[in-house]
Amino acid sequence: EPEVTQTPSHQVTQMGQEVILRCVPISNHLYFYWYRQILGQKVEFLVSFYNNEISEKSEIFDDQFSVERPDGSNFTLKIRSTKLEDSAMYFCATRDRSAFFGQGTRLTVV
């Protein structure tokens, strides 16, 4: 069964450093998303991406965040200068009519 693949599974970074989270979507899916889940809290929408541009973003997705699809396969989320409060699970999701989530990247900012 096709699946969404995320790397790395766990990333530890120092405050102020840049991180890039990677996702390989299901091959025939055209809609891509990033969500995050802080420990013990709801899954929160960050950004959606379609046709090589952002289609919607949340208030969380400020200037420190960016997304791109650099090579037609990977879909990346970059956080330019990480803060302690960015520590969370980050999920990539892709969809046709259904919405499928990757296994997540646990980001820990120290």
Site string for another protein, 44-63 (x = CB under 8 A): xx--x-x-----x-x-----
Residues 6+ apart with CB under 8 A from 45: 33, 35, 56, 58
Residue 35 contacts residue 93 (beta carbons within 8 Å): yes
CB of 97 to another protein, least distance (A): 8
How long a stretch of residues is the chain? 110
CB of 16 to another protein, least distance (A): 27
* Contact between 95 and another protein per CB under 8 A: yes
Closest CA to 3 of 23, 33, 30: 23
Give the residue with the Cβ less far from another protein, 38 or 110: 38
Question: What secondary structure letter does DSSP report for 84?
Answer: G
Cα–Cα distance list, 87 to 8, 12, 20, 98, 99 (Å): 14, 9, 14, 28, 24
Among 12-20, 34-42, 62-70, 75-83, the segment contacting another protein (CB under 8 A): 34-42
CB of 110 to another protein, least distance (A): 19
Binding residues for another protein, per CB under 8 A?
31, 33, 35, 41-45, 48, 50, 56, 58, 89, 91, 93, 95, 97-104
